[in-house]
Chain A
C-alpha cells in the first residue's frame, strides 16, 4: 500500500469531511481570479515579505554578490526537489536522496583519488545516482513495498556504504576543472549552479505540465487503479520517477562536492528533510495527485532567502530551522484555519 493510499483514506473519513483539495474547481471564476487565489500567489506574497524584511534588516542584503551567494542556499536542494515533487505527486516518496549524495560523492572521490579526470567523475556521479534510484525503484515497483520504509532503509544503506569506504576519513584531491560546477560563474554574478537550476526548472515545468508523461504522473497520484485501467503503465511511471530522483541526486552530488571540494560520509546529512520541506511548501500535496513546479521554484526562493537573511543577522543555523519548521506548518495550517473559520 502506498503512502498516498493510506493517507487519503484517512483524510476522507466522514468525521473530518472537507472539500477534496484535488477536485476540479468549478470553473465559474475567471483565470485571473484562480491565479490570484492560488497557492503560488500566497507563497509569492510570503517570499516578497521576506525579501522586503531582509532589505530593512540588513544593509548587506541588497547587493548583487550577496544575492548571488544566497542562491547557493537552495540551488542543490531545488534540483532534487524538482524530481522529488514528481515522485510525491505520483504518491511515492524518496527519503534516501541525501544518502545518494553521500554515496555518489564517495564514488567520485574514490575515482578522483585514482586519478580520473572531470568527465569521468561527472559520469560516475550521475551513474551512482541512477543506480541508487534503480535500486529504490525495483524494491518499490517490483516487490510492491511501501516507498517510505524502503527509502528509510536505503537511506541507512547508501550512507552506510559511504561510511564503510571512508570511515572517519575524507577525499580531497579533486581535479581543478571539477571546481567549476559548484564554484564557477557563467557571467558576472550568475553562478553555474543557478543557471543549471533555472534550466532544470524550465525542463521540469515542461515535463510535468506540458507532456503526456506529466499527465500520467498526476493520474497515477490521483488514482493508480484508474490510471492502470486507462492504459498507463503505473509501475513503469514510478520506476522512471525513482530513476529521475536518483539522477537529480547525482547532479546535486556533483555540485555540492565541487562546491565543498571534499567528501566526508556525513555530506548533505539531513538534506532529505529540507528537500521534502521545500516540496511541501511549494504546494505539492504529500498525499499525491497535485502540485506544480513553479510552486517549487518560489518555495526554493522563500526558503533560501529566509535562511540567508537570518544568517546575515548572525542567527545560528539551528535557530533558523525553527523558522523553516514553523513556516512549513504555518503555511499549510493557515489556509485550513481560515477555511474552518468561514464554516
Chain B
C-alpha cells in the first residue's frame, strides 16, 4: 500500500474540501448531507460520462461525440416511449446501452480499421449524431406530458433514500474501478496508452483495445442518455450541447493525462464532483451563473498546469519506454 502522501487524488480531495468549506462560510446549508447527496445526484451524468471518457483518454484517444451520443440515445428512448408507453424500463435501459454501444463502436471502427485520428472521427460523428436526432424527431421536442410516468419515474425512484440516478453512478464507478484495476482489459488500456509499441510486443492488439474503449464510452453515454432524458423529462436536438467539453474537463481536472496511460478512477470522480460542486454552489453564494463558464475554464487550466508539475511518473505506467526499462524504479 502507498502511504498517505500528497498524491494527485489527495490534493484534489483537499481542494474539494476547501471549496466546500468556502461555500459553507457563505451558506452553511450547502454542506448538509441531504444537499450533498443532491449535488452528487446532479453530477451523476457527468461522472458516468467522464469515466467512459477516462478509458478512451487512457488509450491515447479522445471521444468528442459523447454528448451527441447521449442526446441521440435519449431521443430514441423518448420516441420509443411515446410509441410504446408500457415498455418495461429494463427493456428501455437495455436498448439505451445497446444503442450507445453501437454508436461507440462506429467511432471505434473508424479508429481501429481505418486508422483515422480519433479527434477527426469523433468530431465528424458528433455533428452526424446531432443531425440524426433532428431527422428522427423532425426537430420537435418530446415533452413531459408525452412520456409515461414509468419512464420518467426511474431516475427519481428512491432506494435507501437515494435516487436511482445516483445508484447508477455508484454502480458505474464500482464497475469501472473493478475493470480498470482488476482485469487484464483494464491493464491493457493503461499499457496501450503508456507505450503502444511495448503494448504490441506484449501481445496486446492496440487497435482492438482502442475500439473496446470507444464501445465502453459509448455504452456509458447511452446509459446517461436515457437517465438524462427521463430525469429532465424532455428530449430535443440540443440537450447536453457542449457537454463533451465538461466531460473532458472533468477528466483533466481528475488527473487523466491527455497523452494517455495515466489517471485513476478516484481522481476522475473527484474531478467531476469538483465541477459539480462549482455548478451547484454558484447560485447559493450569489454569484451570477454567467461566471460558471469562466470559472470552470480557469479550473481546467490550473489543474492541467498542476498535473504537468507533478509529472506523469505518479500515474500507473505499466510498460516503460525501452531506454528506461533497466533503470531502478
Report A-chain residues with C-beta under 8 Å of the C-beta of B131: 318-322, 325
Interface mask (B101-135 → A, CB under 8 Å = 1, otherwise 0): 00000000010001111011101111110111011
Q: Is the CB of A6 within 8 A of B259?
A: yes
Measured CA separation A322–B125 after assembly (Å): 8
CA distance A18 to B134 in the complex (A): 38
Provide a sorted-by-A list of 6 A–B residue pairs whose CB atoms are within 8 angstroms: A14-B197, A156-B300, A167-B290, A319-B134, A321-B130, A329-B121
Q: Are A160 and B308 in contact (CB under 8 A)?
A: no
- Look across to chain B and name the residue whose beta carbon is closest to the beta carbon of A318: B134
User: How far, in angstroms, from A256 to B253 measured CA to CA in the complex?
Assistant: 33
Q: Of B60, B205, B291, B294, which is within 8 A of A7 by CB? A: B60
Contacts of A153 in B (CB 8 A): 249, 252, 297-298, 300-301, 304
Interface size on B, residues (CB 8 A): 53
For residue A277, which residue of chain B has the nearest CB?
B123
The verdict on A333 contacting B308 (CB below 8 Å), with A16-B207, A152-B248, A286-B117 known, is no
B88 at the interface (CB under 8 A from A): no
A interface list, Cβ under 8 A from B: 1, 3, 5-7, 9-16, 18, 139, 143-146, 148-150, 152-161, 163-164, 167-168, 265, 270, 273, 276-277, 280, 286-287, 316, 318-322, 324-326, 328-329, 332-333, 336-337, 340
A155 CB contact (under 8 Å) in B62, B196, B295, B297: B297
Contacts of B116 in A (CB 8 A): 329, 332-333, 336
Query: Is B171 part of the binding interface, using a Cβ–Cβ cutoff of 8 Å?
Result: no
Q: Is B293 interfacial (CB-CB < 8 Å)?
A: yes
* A156 and B294 form a contact (CB under 8 A): yes
- Our pick among A157, A270, A316, A329 for the contact of B298 (Cβ within 8 Å) is A157
CB distance from A188 to the nearest CB of B (A): 35
In the bound complex, do residue A286 and residue B60 qualify as a contact, i.e. CB atoms below 8 Å apart? no
- Give min CB distance, A42 to chain B, whole Å: 16
Those 9 A-B pairs whose CB atoms lie nearest each other, nearest first: A160-B294, A156-B297, A157-B297, A322-B131, A160-B293, A153-B300, A325-B128, A1-B259, A153-B301
B245/A156 in contact, CB under 8 A: yes
| Residue pair B125, A156 in contact (C-beta under 8 Å) | no
Interface centre among A154, A322, A340 (most CB of B within 10 A): A322
B139 close to A139 (CB less than 8 A): no
Q: Are B294 and A161 in contact (CB under 8 A)?
A: yes
**Does B300 contact A322, Cβ atoms closer than 8 Å?**
no
Partner of A6, one of B60, B197, B199: B60
Which residue in A11, A145, A326, A328 is a CB contact (below 8 Å) of B123? A328
Chain A nearest CB, measured from B302 CB (Å): 9
B319 at interface by CB-CB < 8 Å: no
Does the CB pair A139–B305 fall under 8 Å? yes
| Interface SS of B by simple majority | helix
By beta carbon, the residue of chain B nearest A274 is B127
**A325 CA to B237 CA in the complex, in Å?**
16
Q: Is B301 touching A154 in the complex (CB atoms < 8 A)? A: yes
Q: A321-B130, A324-B127 are in contact. Are A7 and B117 (CB under 8 A)?
A: yes
Q: How far is the CB of B136 from chain A (nearest CB, A)?
A: 11
B18 at the interface (CB under 8 A from A): no
B304 and A150 form a contact (CB under 8 A): yes
Given contacts A159-B293, A160-B295, contact A287 B117 (CB under 8 A): yes
B292 contacts partner chain A, Cβ-Cβ < 8 Å: yes
Q: Is B39 an interface residue (CB 8 A)?
A: no
Nearest Cβ on chain B to A343's Cβ, whole angstroms: 13
Q: Are A326 and B124 in contact (CB under 8 A)?
A: yes
Whole-angstrom distance from the CB of A201 to the nearest CB of chain B?
A: 23
CA of A14 to CA of B259 in the docked complex: distance in angstroms? 19
Set A1, A18, A145, A273: member contacting B304, Cβ < 8 A: A145
Residues of A contacting B276 in the complex (Cβ-Cβ under 8 angstroms): none
Residue B230 CB within 8 A of the other chain: no
Residues on A with C-beta less than 8 A from B288 are: 164, 167
Greatest chain A CB density within 10 A among B117, B249, B288, B298 is at: B117
Say yes or no: B200 contacts A321, CB within 8 Å: no
Identify the closest chain B residue to A327 (Cβ). Answer: B124
Task: Pick from B60, B206, B297: contact of A15, CB below 8 A.
Answer: B206
Shortest Cβ gap from A316 to chain B (Å):
6
A329 touches B125 (CB 8 A): yes
Residue of B at shortest CB range from A276?
A: B123
Q: Return chain B residues, CB-CB under 8 Å to A167.
A: 288, 290
Residues in chain B near residue A13, CB distance under 8 A: 196-197, 199-200, 206-207
Known: A16-B115, A325-B126, A333-B114. A286 touches B120 (CB 8 A): yes
Q: A313: shortest Cβ distance to chain B, in Å?
A: 15
- Taking the closest CB of chain B, its distance from the CB of A9, in whole angstroms, is 6
8 Å CB contacts to A: which residues of B277-295?
288, 290-295
